[in-house]
Amino acid sequence: MLTAIGAGFGRTGTSSLKAALELLGLGPCHHMKEVLDVPEQVRAWGRAAHGAPVDWGELLRGYRSAIDWPSARYWRALAARYPDARIILTERDPDAWYESTLNTIYAFSRQRAPMDDPAMRAIREMVDATVWNGVFGGRFEDRAHAIGVYLRNSEEVRAEVPADRLLVYRPGDGWEPLCDFFGLPVPAEPYPHLNDRATILAEAAERFADR
């Protein structure tokens, strides 16, 4: 049963937020990292991206929260399916978000994966169908278009989610707004800071090298 749903795009502090939610006891938290290592998850999200009916309870069984892509694409459906869950809209400066995304997850998704490897092919196809084609209409390299999509998502979340159900959260906000939102005490541990650009690129290189 989900208690927290992320409506913000990847590269808006979602890896750190995943770790924070799990420290608060709101995990396991579903994130793209969870998907890439589980072939059935890759296939299931790929089917969802192509419009197949989704049993959200089955797909997210065992998770208490879900953020980042692929789930963020479906925040409306998840918010309706889990009416008691709270929605977190992660945001950062749009230009900084675009540059970060372009130079990390988009850059290595355009690398020539070993397409004779069925697992890598399935990952590439799912990410393309979900994010680059599904969210950005195949036009992510058009900076103005991509930023427009990003801004429109934020506008729609703010307009559609009741204020008492929504937390707009930016990197650097720390524990206090998050803990206040969920009515939980602030942990003794520092707020996590994960997945900077160098880490992202190193993880991508390792994943491709292993195939």
Strands 166-169 and 4-6: unpaired
| Average of per-residue pLDDT values in the chain | 92
Provide the percentage of residues in the chain whose pLDDT is more than 70.
Answer: 90
Query: What pLDDT was estimated at residue 109?
Result: 86
- Burial-class residue 15 by CB neighbours within 10 Å (0-12, 13-18, 19+): buried
pLDDT bin (cut points 50, 70, 90) of residue 194 is confident
| Residue 120 vs residue 151, higher pLDDT | 151
Task: Please say if the pLDDT value at position 211 is more than 50.
Answer: no
Task: Please say if the pLDDT value at position 210 is more than 50.
Answer: no
Mean pLDDT lowest for which of 33-47, 60-74, 156-170? 33-47
Residue range 108-121: average pLDDT? 76
pLDDT bin (cut points 50, 70, 90) of residue 95 is very high
In the chain, at which residue ranges do the beta strands (DSSP E only) sit? 4-6, 29-30, 65-66, 86-90, 166-169
Query: What pLDDT was estimated at residue 209?
Result: 47
Residue range 103-116: average pLDDT? 79
Task: Kindly list the domain boundaries of the chain, sorted by start residue.
Answer: 4-209
SS3 32: helix
Query: What pLDDT was estimated at residue 187?
Result: 97
Question: 99 Cβ partners below 8 Å, 6+ apart?
Answer: none
- Residue 27 contacts residue 68 (beta carbons within 8 Å): no
Task: Please say if the pLDDT value at position 123 is more than 60.
Answer: yes
Residue range 23-44: average pLDDT? 94
Mean pLDDT lowest for which of 80-84, 90-94, 163-167, 207-211? 207-211
User: Quick one: residue 174, left, alpha or beta (phi over 0 = left, psi -120 to 50 = alpha)?
Assistant: left
Provide the percentage of residues in the chain whose pLDDT is more than 90.
Answer: 82
Q: Return the CATH number of 4-209, one of 3.20.20.10, 3.30.565.10, 3.40.50.300, 3.30.465.10.
A: 3.40.50.300
- Residue 6 contacts residue 91 (beta carbons within 8 Å): no
pTM for this model (two decimals): 0.92
